Structure 1
């Protein structure tokens, strides 16, 4: 599941992923992604909680498709804050951060407020 967080600074879009993320979840999240891209400057907080289980049916393919659909907006991505206590997410992020446009930072679950400030900055 992908849900949009409401308690984030202006100009930042926050998401929380949980359970198994499916193609339907990405379809439902597309309007929020389009709003970010239309704003011209993308600042994201992605909270990956302890209940996150990975991709479900069609989720990985939908994630890749969504990523490719943003290629014309690469310069719009300013900051992405990933908030999680899952070690494997941190290792994966460090390995793949070079593929993510803009600045990327990893925060623990107890650092959500700091992640919000960093993403807004």
Structure 2
């Protein structure tokens, strides 16, 4: 797995994943997200999944645990941009958006990567 932590706006945690996401990789990402949350009242998340081939069971379990642990803090996540060439991931993201009101979720094609970054990097109003 290769995780590229992208240098972007101070209120955005941004990643490009390629290969198989492991539990250790997931810990790296959560560390970056938590750093952004410690510095900002609300953040955006940018994930470029172009080249991601899958997630280990450990990474999936950590994702579920982290998500459940953040239920009381969802208002701190203003928006999320996902770049993917996989239609099923875009559909899952759209469905998730209906379950978590207050977080703007948008998916983008790989050719729209710059537009996704611009969208997620817009200033975030305090909640």
Structure 2-normalised TM-score? 0.83
Whether the 8 Å CA contact 2:10–2:36 is kept in 1: the answer is no
Q: Does the aligned pair in 2 maintain the 1:12–1:43 contact within 8 Å?
A: yes
Whole-Å separation in 2 of the counterparts to 1:74 and 1:57: 24
In structure 2, stretches of 5+ residues that fail to align are 123-127
Aligned equivalent of 1:58: 58
Q: How high is the TM-score relative to the length of structure 1? A: 0.86
Matches within 5 A, 1:31-46: 31-38=31-38, 39-46=40-47
| Structure 1 residue aligned with 2:125 | none
Give the number of equivalent residue pairs.
Answer: 119
Q: Quote the RMSD (CA, aligned, Å).
A: 1.7
Return 5+ residue gaps in structure 1 as ranges: none
1:74 counterpart SS class: helix
| Structure-2 change in CA distance of 1:36 and 1:10 (3 Å) | closer
CA distance in 1, matches of 2:4, 2:23: 14
Does residue 89 (structure 1) correspond to residue 84 (structure 2)? The answer is no
Range with bigger deviation, 96-105 or 14-23: 96-105
Which 4+ stretches in 1 moved above 3 angstroms?
none
